[in-house]
Structure 1
Amino acid sequence: MATVDHNSQAPNRYDKEGQMDENGAEVKSQVASDGSVHKGEDILAMQDLDPALNAKMHLVNNAIDEIGWTNYHWKLFVLNGFGYAVDSLITLIQSNIAAPAFKEFGSVGYANGQNIASYAGLLAGAIFWGFGADIIGRRWAFNLSLFVCSTAAIVAGAAPSWPSLGFFVALVGFGGGGNLVLDTTVFLEYLPGNKQWVLTLMACWWGFGQAITGFICWGFLVPKKWNCDLDGEACPRSSNMGWRYVYFTAGALVFVLSILRITIVRLKETPKYQLTEGDDAALVENLQSLAKKYNRPCSLTLEQLEACGKIQGTHGESRFSLTEFKIHLSGLFATKKIALSTTLIWISWTLIGLAYPLFYVFLSTYLKVRGVTGPTDPYFVWRNYTLANISGIPGPILAGILCNIKFLGRKYTMVIGALVTMAFFFGYTAVHTSDENVAFSCVIAFCVNIYYSCLYAYTPEVLPTAHRATGNGISVAFNRIMGIVSAVIATVADTRTTVPIYLTAALYAAMAIVAVFFPFEPYGRRSS
């Protein structure tokens, strides 16, 4: 990556791999003046139009590579993964408790209200925590989001009415809505370049969250002593505590996870955020402290960073203003290539945000029309549900392997995941038995997570650091908007038609096409 030579003595001069040196020989690596060799190339290079920031980012990436993978990264992998698990947990829980709660409150109101409330909260949370993480930093948002989510979940279990439950369900979504934004952002900004593929692997925690949901609901929504007969007349609270126990248990679990984040990780501000803030001294101290703790080398100095010059402002005059938002938004369209990348990413999140829930909205009615009846015993209902959710765990593992293969990379791993998922959605039209339904559900859960997990990782990898959380948050927000749309469709549309299955498959084909045209390939390069 080329830099501007602000100072002839600056120790940050290097040649770009793949270019020709003054003797006509191809440069094979990037060599710093201290003699260390760094083969990594930064993804955005000069795309951000700020040579000083570009040069400093390269030095920071070199330092992170020099430190390498440590036990601190293992902690982040696990505790950031909790955020993935919580996101899937809270989304599925509200859909599972909606029917018994609606019955208890007299079946008065909007039956799909909790689904819409949850997605509305997730939407607001994605925008709030994403934008907030670019304003005040990753650390505070990272530490607070799960605490808000856990508190709201516990209170939701004590809701006295259908509207009040909707409010607290939305608040649960608001607290958890920033997890997909913050967890990938924080983890990525500490990762050495040759380990960025682990960001894809981290999505396996999403499957764990789904599986945990299945086990909690299996435990509390099956026993008759805690659940009303949904076909009966009366459903008093004393006979219908199952769904409340689900929320109490989930809230307590998330609360424990929020405490573990603070006590085990003790997250400092990420070095790349410190860089965009112009806090070079704190950045160097942060990385030097990490290196010292794990007995790793770190040759980065404050003098090296200062020699690169002063970066352009990444904030407005007021952090909490419309101007601030415009700065972060415009940074996502700084060049034609970055603008194309941002646009295609948002399209991808929108497409999968519609395709995935739309299929499941229509699935049960579609199967009934075809005469496919599932088990009536609650034990087998929840067993099948849990099997399908567990099947999603290996998907990100395979995606992590594929995206680290040179001729596939992130882009073509997404293409493979989308096309294979499309094929099985088309195959669903051949389902005639309950066992076939379970088998296809498990396979689709596996395949869709190949695409989903890679998109989770790709999004923050190619966004510029100063605006990463905002861009990531808007991406997730588009996904949540489509979740709300699917809930409305479920209420007003004819759910007996087979068209949604073919439409869903076509949407995955569109995702594959979009992935081909992504302008950046992160394989072998480092986030900027």
Structure 2
Amino acid sequence: MADFPADSQREDEKDAEEHRAELTSVSSGADLLSRESLDPVLNAKIHLINDAIDEIGFTPYHAKLFCLNGFGYATDSLLLLVQSIIASQAALEFKPSFHNGLTIAAYVGMLVGALFWGTTADIIGRRTAFNYSLLISSIFAIVAGASPNWVVLGLFVCLSAFGSGGNLVLDTAVFLEYLPSKKQWLLTLMAMWWGLGQLIAGLFAWAFLPNFSCPEAGPCTRANNQGWRYVWYANGALVFVMSILRVTVVRLKETPKFLVTEGRDEAVVDVLTGIATKYNRPCSLTLARLTACGVTGEATGRVHNVHARTRISFAEILIHLKGLFETRRVGISTSLIWFSWLLIGLAYPLYNVFLPTYLKTRGTDFGDGSQFTTWRNYAIVNACGIFGPVLAGYMCASKYFWGRRGTMVIGALITMVFFFCYTQVRTAAQNLGFTCAISFCLNIYYATLYAYTPEVLPSAHRGTGNGIAIGLNRVMGIMSAVIATYANTSTPVPIYICAALYIVMAIVAAVFPFEPYGSRSS
């Protein structure tokens, strides 16, 4: 009996020796960034983690994450749209001097949120932001409905957006880092929740604004203009419910790829074997196999080189920024991704800003213009946007569309065509039809870019890189609001410039150095 522990120990040591050889086989191309890593130990451990995740496969746990992380997508789009939906009615009541203030407040909040939650995700982990970001958003969204004036409303819009601004950063990272490689296309499909959030915002607007809003020509007070407040209350309450579901349906543990960058090999094994045991799946990963690889950072002369000595410091942030340019190819990839987010962040908001005024100068008939028709059409358009990511998910999983890069090229070019054609709209039916088509096609590109970004970023610096990418998008949103205030919106030139930007996006997508199709995220 006493010999059994010794025998077990010898077996573990033998197992460990066998897997030391895996250090030399990691650069097989199975992991997307395997040839770009300067730390072979970390590379080997991520390789083993990917093997274990693939061995476990897709489980009900992943299905729950798809929905719960999708809540973050929905909240981001929902709260961003709510401020634009209610802005005109709130302005009638408060009579502000700067009508685009809410848009700037929302984008500032989302900018700071993306940078804050993205950076902290690499410093303290993904789990904290996952658990608390939606709760913060919901509280301030509900309070926004009780705002006594324009400035206070802008403040609560900003704070609510701060909470939701990190969701697009964290939701993709958390889901990706648990996802089997053959199901990575689900990351693109998850963007359908973005369209669902827009639809919900439109439905609440359709329900409350036509019936509880003051007329533009008459007196407008809080008593006869409760509709926009009801929209905030309803959306905030929904987000609050989603935030509660996040911490009750799944007790999220820290992601294995974050834990391995921390040097917490035992926790990595506990997380993955826990999922495997719960759903009766195989998992051959052991602590001996991970520790046999060595200590992270040994090859570079620094133990745990993905962190600074002091976590909450500029040095820590600098390490994550440098990690996004670890090699020439990774640096080019990061730069092109950020450039793409800048382009889409400028093109789409500006198009929405300039198009309505331009079409009116061309004699376009938008229909009866009633609030009922306006918000009905708004709901229809947003419903169409749900299905763009569905098609994008199918395209990303098929070799016939050249993977993620090909899907983005196709999505950008088709959107560009519809944008140019839209300038010829003359009737209400044409307006609705082309708007639906653009909503559908644009989300093919957008959904794929959302998924592609975390897929090609190094796991240790994924939150920082993703946060900066989405932050740049928010900067362009702020600029669009400023341009809309002071520029001439009746000229067609900005519209053609915005449409042409989609050609640039397609070119950039075509030259991205990495293609995730057929590979595993590192």
> Which interval holds the TM-score relative to the shorter structure?
over 0.9
TM-score in terms of structure 1 length: 0.93
Q: Structure 2: which 5+ runs fail to align?
A: 1-15, 298-304
SS at match of 1:65: helix
Match of 2:144 among 156, 178, 199: 156
Counterparts in 2 of 1:430-469, with a 5 A limit?
430-469=424-463
Match of 2:265 among 280, 284, 299: 280
The reply to whether residue 325 of structure 1 matches residue 300 of structure 2 is no
1:13, distance to aligned residue in structure 2 (A)? 2.3
1:377, distance to aligned residue in structure 2 (A)? 2.4
Counterparts in 2 of 1:247-326, with a 5 A limit?
247-312=232-297, 313-326=305-318
Report Cα offsets for 1:43-100 as digits up to 9, x if no partner: 0003120000000010000000000000000000011001111111001100011111
Counterparts in 2 of 1:405-444, with a 5 A limit?
405-407=398-400, 408-444=402-438
SS at match of 1:525: coil
Residue matched to 1:369: 361
1:10, distance to aligned residue in structure 2 (A)? 3.1
Task: Give the letter aligned to residue 380 of structure 1.
Answer: T
The reply to whether residue 489 of structure 1 matches residue 475 of structure 2 is no
The reply to whether residue 476 of structure 1 matches residue 470 of structure 2 is yes
Residue matched to 1:144: 132
The reply to whether residue 196 of structure 1 matches residue 184 of structure 2 is yes
Q: 2: distance between equivalents of 1:390 and 1:11?
A: 52
Kept after mapping to 1: 8 A contact 2:382/2:436: yes
Kept after mapping to 2: 8 A contact 1:83/1:179: yes
Q: 1: distance between equivalents of 2:317 and 2:284?
A: 36
Kept after mapping to 2: 8 A contact 1:12/1:59: no
Q: 2: distance between equivalents of 1:98 and 1:377?
A: 17
The reply to whether residue 92 of structure 1 matches residue 81 of structure 2 is yes
Q: 2: distance between equivalents of 1:206 and 1:108?
A: 30
1:8, distance to aligned residue in structure 2 (A)? 5.4
Q: 1: distance between equivalents of 2:428 and 2:106?
A: 30
Task: Give the letter aligned to residue 484 of structure 2.
Answer: A
From the superposition, tell whether residues 432 and 16 of structure 1 become closer, same or farther in structure 2 (CA, over 3 Å). Answer: farther
Counterparts in 2 of 1:214-229, with a 5 A limit?
214-223=202-211, 226-229=212-215
1:209, distance to aligned residue in structure 2 (A)? 0.4
Counterparts in 2 of 1:70-149, with a 5 A limit?
70-105=59-94, 107-149=95-137
Q: 2: distance between equivalents of 1:391 and 1:98?
A: 24
From the superposition, tell whether residues 12 and 145 of structure 1 become closer, same or farther in structure 2 (CA, over 3 Å). Answer: farther
Report Cα offsets for 1:359-384 as digits up to 9, x if no partner: 10112101211111213222211111
Residue matched to 1:518: 512
Kept after mapping to 2: 8 A contact 1:12/1:55: no
Match of 2:394 among 401, 404, 410: 401
Task: Give the letter aligned to residue 133 of structure 2.
Answer: S
Report Cα offsets for 1:256-300 as digits up to 9, x if no partner: 000000000110001111111110001001100000000000000
Q: 2: distance between equivalents of 1:373 and 1:270?
A: 53
Q: 2: distance between equivalents of 1:252 and 1:119?
A: 22
Kept after mapping to 1: 8 A contact 2:106/2:157: yes
1:434, distance to aligned residue in structure 2 (A)? 1.2
1:9, distance to aligned residue in structure 2 (A)? 4.0
Residue matched to 1:230: 216
Q: 2: distance between equivalents of 1:442 and 1:80?
A: 26
Q: 1: distance between equivalents of 2:450 and 2:25?
A: 29
Kept after mapping to 2: 8 A contact 1:399/1:413: yes
Q: 1: distance between equivalents of 2:21 and 2:177?
A: 21
Residue matched to 2:384: 391
Task: Give the letter aligned to residue 64 of structure 2.
Answer: K
1:108, distance to aligned residue in structure 2 (A)? 2.7
From the superposition, tell whether residues 12 and 300 of structure 1 become closer, same or farther in structure 2 (CA, over 3 Å). Answer: farther
Task: Give the letter aligned to residue 425 of structure 2.
Answer: V
Q: 1: distance between equivalents of 2:353 and 2:260?
A: 45
Q: 2: distance between equivalents of 1:239 and 1:343?
A: 50
Report Cα offsets for 1:128-159 as digits up to 9, x if no partner: 00001111100011111000000000111111
1:404, distance to aligned residue in structure 2 (A)? 1.2
SS at match of 2:58: coil
From the superposition, tell whether residues 317 and 304 of structure 1 become closer, same or farther in structure 2 (CA, over 3 Å). Answer: same
Q: 1: distance between equivalents of 2:321 and 2:163?
A: 23
Q: 1: distance between equivalents of 2:31 and 2:283?
A: 19
The size of the alignment, in residue pairs, is 498
SS at match of 1:521: coil
SS at match of 2:252: coil
The reply to whether residue 379 of structure 1 matches residue 364 of structure 2 is no
Q: 2: distance between equivalents of 1:391 and 1:366?
A: 24
Report Cα offsets for 1:422-443 as digits up to 9, x if no partner: 1111111221111101100000
SS at match of 2:36: helix
TM-score in terms of structure 2 length: 0.94
Displaced runs of 4 or more, over 4 A: 14-17
Report Cα offsets for 1:137-185 as digits up to 9, x if no partner: 0001111100000000011111111111110000011000001101000
Residue matched to 1:347: 339
Q: 1: distance between equivalents of 2:159 and 2:113?
A: 9
Task: Give the letter aligned to residue 517 of structure 1.
Answer: V
The reply to whether residue 13 of structure 1 matches residue 22 of structure 2 is yes
1:15, distance to aligned residue in structure 2 (A)? 7.4
Kept after mapping to 2: 8 A contact 1:102/1:111: yes
Match of 1:180 among 137, 159, 168: 168
The reply to whether residue 41 of structure 1 matches residue 30 of structure 2 is yes
SS at match of 1:47: coil
Residue matched to 2:10: none
Name the % identity. 60
Q: 1: distance between equivalents of 2:64 and 2:433?
A: 35
Kept after mapping to 1: 8 A contact 2:17/2:292: no
SS at match of 2:19: coil
1:500, distance to aligned residue in structure 2 (A)? 2.0
Residue matched to 2:301: none
